[in-house]
Structure 1
Amino acid sequence: MDPYDSDSSADEDLTETNVLLGYADEDVIEDTISHLGGWPSWIDENTPPPGDYANCKVCNSPMLLLLELHGDLPDHFPNNERRLYIFGCPRKPCNRKPGSIRAYRATRKVSLPGLPLPQPQEKKKQPQPQQQPQEKSKPTLDPVAPPKPKLDLGASLFGATSLTSSVSANANPFSLTPSSSSAAAGAGANPFAMPKPATPATQSPATTSADKLAETFADKVRISSPAPISASGTATKQTPESMGAQAPWPAQSAFPAPYQKYYLDAEYETMSRPSTPTVPENVSVEPMEEEGAGGEGDADMKDTFESGMDKAFMKFSTRLAHNPEQVLRYEYRGTPLLSSYTDQVGKRLHPEHSAGRVTTVGGGSMPPCEYCGASRVFEVQLVPHAISMLEDGREGVGLGEGDAGMEWGTIIMGVCGQDCAPEKIGQLGWREEWAGVQWEEMK
């Protein structure tokens, strides 16, 4: 009987993860705030960041915007508006040096914790003149307008419509059902679980369309309410708003030519998983004989191969290859994808050193927030395809000899787990956050 030998491809099925992937497009998808490259915009145009935030810490020259992300998280911080930024220096002498890539968070409170969000005030009814006693006034009912829907803060990070349509119809195997999310949050639930928003059985016509339009990015990354985070460090830095007058943000003319602007769309990460091929019962399988099989030479080759292979980079590359067009990965309180376990960032964040959780709780990984002492958590990272998008057509632009070319493998942004911000409603607070940069391996 002939041995079974088939080159037919195995069937594949898809596995969906809790990671939201961002994709770049020159055309507006839904959200006009989140984008790669271009010029930054601010939550409050009258309150730009401190001027020092514009500069590279190596050469003290203005940097270019790599990413602006609309980051409202109503499940975690319902009273806060949030926006995230990553800037990078394009000058060659600054490559691979700490401070050449910086990350910022802007947060503004729109209500105090425990209080409802501000609602538009209804006009008071004017008193009606009294009717003469001899006249019988017919009771009149003032028309009552349907209640206005409660809008989430800000526009959708990547656009509600496109996100809704792009999410796989298959249920996330790690998600919590809406009915069990609150109970599971305090009962050892998967910390990365994300319940899908429940769809009410009936909706009034006044709320259906508006609620859909008001859906934010956080609706796509909802997870069970997190336990309070205790401060694992102490505040070592004054907040910008407490420091008084500071240098203004530079004019656009002070910056090099910006990278091309790309808007962002997103969908949950799906990975193909090849099924194990089945061998018919009437077919025998014979092992292939290889020269030198079982000898010492095979063991030497195996050791040489494994020692020369960077396991972290192989895992990094393989994971990205499932969705090669992704430019960013988002999972609030999740775990970043590392390109190395042996560099400074890898040693901080690899599960072997951080017990699988990227947080400063229980030993430390990311440095704590310098402004309030709270633990930092992972939120977003840029991946290499963002470089090819941003650098397209950049030859000879802006810096005399042209941009140096970005040499990072991934930029990981860790944010304050308590989203510290000014307590005064309406006051915008700026915070520099942790940017963990893993650089390309030197050839």
Structure 2
Amino acid sequence: MMQNGAPSSNADHTTTFNDLPAAMLVNIFTRLPVKTLIRSTSVCKTWYSNITKPTFISAHIQHSLSCSNQNAVLFVPNNIMRHKYCSLVSADTGNVLEKYKIPFKTKNGSLQLCGCLNGLLCLNAIEEDPNVDVEYQDLYLWNPRVRKYRSLFSSCFKKRGFCLYALGMGVYEPTFDTRIVRIVYPADDGGYACRKVPPKAEIYSLKRNTWRRIKDPGVPLLGYHSGITVGNNMVYWLNTRMSRDFNEQAWLLSFDFNTEMFGSIKLPDEVRYCLGVKANFNLLKFEGKLAVFVLNERKETNGTISQPCGIWLMSHEEGKISWNLIFKIVLKEHMWPLNVSRGGTLLQVSYASSNRSLFFCNLVSEDLQQSKPLVTEPGGFVEAHFMESLLLLEGKDELLKSAVSCSGYF
């Protein structure tokens, strides 16, 4: 009401979005999908600053973990000259949920998935040229959701000729810095690991965009290229070796990104021999913990081949490691386990024909069902823990050509 031209003391006050408490704003933003948040960065400088803060990105990742599709899996082709897209597929229906165009090309047109963590993929080319130095081998970090990537063509270690290496992804939790550890060792003229030179290790920091040498890692030779990340800061590799008495030993190599320390864990006999001495092993992640998949072949009375398997879950509490057999199932012939989704679906690949077919197995009902949309030509990788995130949102696609602030030569 107006009296003598003066505004009323009870005039309405319009509340804007920015008048909300900061904690409430963060709570609202963390519930938005990545696509909406990217658009929101264009609204104003304040929103851009808040959305691109590391603390907010970390909070958004935690919320995405709790509400993302538990049975969505990512298929990554290994021939990117013929297939230029990664596909996010439902393990429940087999339907393609989204496609992401691969934004880079490798020298030989091949691609290999080395790790996936918090929406970031670690990819490299399947190198066939024995004269390519490790620092010039194709290696990428890519976030398909924000369409940004980094090319990491560099190394602290330089040597002419081919160098074998193993990779692992993790997070340095005090600063939420995504990092990659790379174990490097030279090969002899025959392409085998040179035992005269001890392996060395280096670590890449996403925040600093550089490689740094890890002094005296004391790591053994590894036969498996990619590690399994558990709980953000731990990565594990599985390896087997023959002892002097010709008995095969199976063990795990671990790396802690918080302490930058390597460790080793020997698989107990009850895990290794639960299906016989000729069993095969594969590392998986199940319910946020490390799992060992033990697989063997068995000839049935009707002449068919079945594959009994056991899944052992590792628990690490109060400094003590224990193993629990959580599942015993039987796979069909020519199957190999690839991964387990967050929803508990076991993904397997069939090698029964030239075309690789993916199968899903419900670990509770043991009901196998083929997903026809995922029948592909040979080659490809399946990631069962992909999720959307804002990592790499800030900045342009970058090429790392030199290893700054590090030294060391073979």
TMscore range, shorter length: under 0.3
> By percentage of residues, which structure has more strand?
2
Q: Which TM-score applies when normalising by structure 2?
A: 0.22
Larger radius of gyration: 1
> By percentage of residues, which structure has more helix?
1
Q: Which TM-score applies when normalising by structure 1?
A: 0.21
